[in-house]
Structure 1
């Protein structure tokens, strides 16, 4: 028993907290199965490695600022049959990140754009890639404050550092000239250096109005779309589907998604 306590204490001194915690259980299991010393040691170290990986994922998840946790397995592709599931699965394999390509999810509110962006982000976090999530309103507000305080370059690095930068809700609020210019600077700085995932309820033809400057909007889109995958979601809102079933709510106007021309695909 003294030797067991000494071993546990030494594991703790080495920073192998999970190994120290699971030592008793691993010894008992090894005794029952008559494992070799080497097998016992490997199982003890595996427990430590798995716990460290779990903690690392939790840290990266916290630093990512994701609004919630969603996986692709939780996404109901049958509710949005227009989405190319094979393309989404390919994006989740993250090869686009190595090529510094972008992903743009287009469609009306509630169709699952942010869910898919978050699900891809969680795959990236699980593979050790740094991710950062921010809405466009939060992004330009943060950069505007940094600009006014003469620390824009320093703050911009926060958005240049992650391998994947997710900018959510592009198009919900128009941008004034300074905000549009700051967004343009960020897109330019990440161009062919890091991937971006954007969600937008606006078609590309409406970005000129969104940014208040068609020429600037063209310059932004030129860089975003040069190496990109475009997923155009035509469908109904997940959030309102139960109300539609009961007849409480019906989609106003024409078919949802009609202002989002084009099909899912890559450029």
Structure 2
């Protein structure tokens, strides 16, 4: 007796050729559901294609999140705005629409340690990845160490492309350690190369008046700030550290813990 041929075999073969694995995997099951629920042919096809798109998006987000080298994976849904009243939640959620990335503008997040600056940076990076915008994240120390090594090996121009190619470059921890003359100049080269071509998002625990000490040269710091701030939004978080708050709640030390203020104001420029 000749075995009955599965009528969906040709679909599976075609899906393999067209690289539609999710459609091929679900075609039979969804056909049964469609028959039972009396879906139209259009609804059945749309359901299969939607599953394929969703699977591809999940795979894309997973792989590009790894490629972006995020320090952790958090979105704005994990951010407790109630604990940072100086931060305008509506403004931050508007920034998550990424219109500033479309315009090649910048985002600068200032504040003392532990107030959620890196969380906001990562949330914006995650939002960009969901929107299929190329992203790369790095601390300023890792960036200048990488570029200095390339400089010493006479391959700086090629390595610089790593930091100019992504539409969004996230740089964390500006100001935690001072840079020497060469490192400051290499960082300036990155900022200058991206100016009005690609977006920068960075965090700093120093107010702008202290950047001269960070970069070892007030003139160079002014040149860097001129390019960063020209088309930018500046968020200044003046709240308390999440980590210190948790320790106080645990009774490890009193309310007199230091809360270092920033010297720059909470401003936004178009």
When normalised by structure 2's length, the TM-score is 0.94
Tell me the alpha carbon deviations over residues 104-130 of structure 1, each in whole angstroms, 9 at most, x when there is no partner: 111111100000011111111111111
The equivalent position to 1:23 in structure 2, one of 18, 21, 27, is: 27
Distance of 1:164 and 1:252 partners within structure 2: 39
Tell me the alpha carbon deviations over residues 39-59 of structure 1, each in whole angstroms, 9 at most, x when there is no partner: 212211221122112222222
Tell me the alpha carbon deviations over residues 138-183 of structure 1, each in whole angstroms, 9 at most, x when there is no partner: 0000100111111111110111011110000001111011100000
Q: Which residue of 2 aligns with 1:146?
A: 150
Specify whether residues 253 and 42 from structure 1 end up closer, same or farther in structure 2 by C-alpha distance, changes over 3 A only.
closer
Q: What pairs up with 1:130-169 in 2 under 5 angstroms?
A: 130-169=134-173
Q: CA deviation at 1:251?
A: 6.2
The equivalent position to 1:5 in structure 2, one of 6, 9, 14, is: 9
Given that residues 209 and 263 in structure 2 are in contact (C-alpha distance below 8 angstroms), is that contact kept between their aligned partners in structure 1? no
Distance of 2:182 and 2:269 partners within structure 1: 31
Would you say 1:220 and 2:224 are equivalent positions? yes
Distance of 2:268 and 2:55 partners within structure 1: 39
Give the secondary-structure state (helix, strand or coil) at the position aligned to 1:140.
Answer: helix
Distance of 1:26 and 1:141 partners within structure 2: 53
More displaced, 7-16 or 25-34? 7-16
Q: CA deviation at 1:100?
A: 1.4
Give the secondary-structure state (helix, strand or coil) at the position aligned to 1:133.
Answer: strand
More displaced, 118-127 or 7-16? 7-16
Would you say 1:263 and 2:260 are equivalent positions? no
Would you say 1:99 and 2:97 are equivalent positions? no
Tell me the alpha carbon deviations over residues 51-99 of structure 1, each in whole angstroms, 9 at most, x when there is no partner: 1122222222121111111111110000001101111111111111122
Q: CA deviation at 1:9?
A: 2.7
Unaligned runs of 5+ in 1: none
Distance of 2:116 and 2:123 partners within structure 1: 10
Given that residues 84 and 264 in structure 1 are in contact (C-alpha distance below 8 angstroms), is that contact kept between their aligned partners in structure 2? no
Q: What pairs up with 1:1-267 in 2 under 5 angstroms?
A: 1-250=5-254, 256-267=259-270
More displaced, 176-185 or 28-37? 28-37
CA RMSD of aligned residues (A): 1.5
Unaligned runs of 5+ in 2: none
Q: CA deviation at 1:252?
A: 5.9
Q: CA deviation at 1:131?
A: 0.7
When normalised by structure 1's length, the TM-score is 0.95
